[in-house]
Amino acid sequence: MTTALVVAALAMTSCAKEDKKEGPQPLALKEQVSSIVRSGAGYAVTWAGVLSNPNRWHFGENAVAVVTAVDAAGKEVVHLEQPLDAAPPGRPLAFSGQVPSATRPVHVKIDYRPASWRQISHVPSAFLKFPISDVRTDKLKDGTHLVTGYVSDPFRKPAAALAVTALLRDATGRLIGGATSHVKDVQPGARRRFIITVEGVRGSVAATDVQATTWGSTAATYEELARAGAVPLHTTAPTTEPFAKDRGYPPPGDRRQ
């Protein structure tokens, strides 16, 4: 067994012992925002949030966002339980949603039901982020914001479906809106375009944060991608001739010249 494998095995054993001793820490609702806009004969309640997963060695599965809204009399007019995608180990999970309401709500609350835990089968670095590029945010005449860009698959296996969430922020970094779209059949190393329409944004947008993750309440899909491995960063063979003499420094203690 090589030194690198020994170190990796010791690290996983150590973290597993810590998890067994203390247990995974719960997900935390780090940010949330909601809005109420007129829509047809009624109203549309939109929301976005960010759940933080502090556990580097566990996925958070089967978490559920519970969205409620009350009218001016305090009567509950919206109650929605939204299944969330699996929260990646040691990373945040962005989510969003929208629901109609016949009565005008005045207060919206976002809570969540605790996740179940799944210990990862690879080192945390194997669960690569899905790269986001060429993001553009445009405000349309009707007040909505259109977010476009590209998402890539860094794994050797195609990503069947990805949830791509755009989070809009003001100049202070405060979350002021968000929405999600889904992109299907992203091939290894390839890019697919996403288009996200964000409604109910109040304030000026200064920055857009886009996050992508596998679609689904369990980590099964992400695990399969990590098992397939990453796409090589460099696939083009060198065209220059090799050096006649190695220009590197000799290993310590090597007396050969």
Whether 90 is in a domain gets the answer yes
Bridge partners, residue 161, by sequence: 184
Whether 251 is in a domain gets the answer no
- pLDDT for residue 238 is more than 80: no
If one counts the domains in the chain, the total is: 1
C-alpha–C-alpha distance, residues 96 and 165, integer Å: 7
Mean of pLDDT over the chain:
89
| pLDDT 10s digits, 138-148 | 999 989 999 99
Mean pLDDT across 217-225 = 96
Whether 50 is in a domain gets the answer yes
Whether 64 is in a domain gets the answer yes
Whether 74 is in a domain gets the answer yes
Task: Give backbone dihedrals phi and psi of 170, rounded to 5 degrees, phi first.
Answer: -90, -170
- Edge-first strand order for the sheet with 159-169 is 175-186, 159-169, 207-214
C-alpha–C-alpha distance, residues 68 and 45, integer Å: 10
- pLDDT for residue 100 is more than 50: yes
The boundaries of the domain holding residue 209 are: 25-228
Whether 111 is in a domain gets the answer yes
- pLDDT for residue 10 is more than 80: no
Residues above pLDDT 70, as percent of the chain = 86
In the numeric block, which tokens belong to residue 114? 């605790």
Mean pLDDT across 225-251 = 78
Non-local (6+) Cβ contacts of 92 within 8 A are 30, 50, 51, 52, 53, 211
Task: Give backbone dihedrals phi and psi of 3, rounded to 5 degrees, phi first.
Answer: -60, -40
DSSP summary character for residue 57: T
pTM, rounded to two decimals: 0.81
C-alpha–C-alpha distance, residues 213 and 159, integer Å: 10
Whether 80 is in a domain gets the answer yes
Whether 93 is in a domain gets the answer yes
Q: How confident is the model at residue 155 (pLDDT cuts 50, 70, 90)?
A: very high
